Homo-oligomer: A and B are copies of this chain.
């Protein structure tokens, strides 16, 4: 039941076609969504520039093309397709027009929006192996209309590389800190920054890194204020959250 159906229900009551009691009965079992609460993702999708997201893993290129087409035809300006292998991207590009970001494993259908806020999201990694996760965050943030600054391979074992960019850290409105192994990057950045730091542990490492658990625990135990954590390798979630933070006060 959308707003029109709801309006019709009241109209029928106003017209005497339904008694108030009958209307109550009809309404009583109607679920939440149908009372006008837009399904949140749909809700978000209707705002200009906020892209819909298609989780690409486990979908065929033709399925993805179909969904993307429908969204674009429905007025969506940008569609993000995540976790898309380069092989599937190749096949998808034969069906619809996309920009494929190989490191990020993300394809963009439609138009990449211009940044709609002055704030900068800084995305830093501890090592070069963390870059794919960082790119997933970066491309997601860009597709959501953010300016992104990348600062890769600034792990804490060579702290001077990070400190050389202390002003970038101090000027960012949100920071995504991506690191595997000992995951200490988030704490060091958290100690230098005045803005929220979203820590993304990665599964980079071996032995007692346990597929990202060491970095995850390290980040959860950060002694720096303003640091929070998302799931291991969840670059998309970090980019999305950074965009949310970066848009506060703009809408």
Among the 9-residue stretches A65-73, A85-93, A100-108, A163-171, the one with 4 or more Cβ atoms under 8 Å from chain B is A163-171
Residue pair A158, B28 in contact (C-beta under 8 Å): no
Which residue from B160, B216, B233 sits with its C-beta under 8 Å from A32?
B160
Residue pair A207, B212 in contact (C-beta under 8 Å): yes
Given the contacts A7-B20, A215-B221, A237-B225, A192 and B35 also touching, CB distance less than 8 Å: no
Residue pair A164, B32 in contact (C-beta under 8 Å): yes
Given the contacts A20-B13, A220-B231, A226-B241, A32 and B29 also touching, CB distance less than 8 Å: no
Does A126 touch B at the CB level, under 8 Å? yes
Contacts of A190 in B (CB 8 A): 157
Residue pair B158, A40 in contact (C-beta under 8 Å): yes
Contacts of A217 in B (CB 8 A): 182, 208-210, 213-214, 217-218
- Number of this chain's copies in the assembly equals 8
Given the contacts A6-B27, A129-B58, A156 and B191 also touching, CB distance less than 8 Å: yes
Residue pair B221, A216 in contact (C-beta under 8 Å): no
Which residue from B16, B155, B187 sits with its C-beta under 8 Å from A14?
B16
Contacts of A198 in B (CB 8 A): 228
Contacts of A160 in B (CB 8 A): 31-33, 37, 39-40
Per the bound structure, the CA–CA distance linking A181 and B221 in Å amounts to 5
Contacts of A9 in B (CB 8 A): 20
Does A11 touch B at the CB level, under 8 Å? yes
Which residue from B3, B14, B191, B220 sits with its C-beta under 8 Å from A40?
B191
Which residue from B7, B183, B234, B245 sits with its C-beta under 8 Å from A218?
B183
Contacts of A216 in B (CB 8 A): 207-208, 220
Interface residues of A in 1-27 (CB under 8 A from B): 3, 6-7, 9-11, 13-14, 16, 18-21, 23-24, 27
* Besides A196-B196, A208-B212, A209-B221, 6 other A-B contacts (C-beta < 8 A): A13-B13, A39-B160, A157-B222, A157-B223, A182-B183, A207-B234
List 18 A–B pairs whose Cβ atoms lie within 8 Å, in order of A's numbering.
Answer: A3-B24, A10-B13, A10-B20, A14-B19, A32-B164, A157-B191, A163-B163, A173-B248, A181-B222, A206-B232, A207-B211, A207-B221, A207-B231, A209-B217, A210-B217, A217-B218, A220-B229, A221-B231
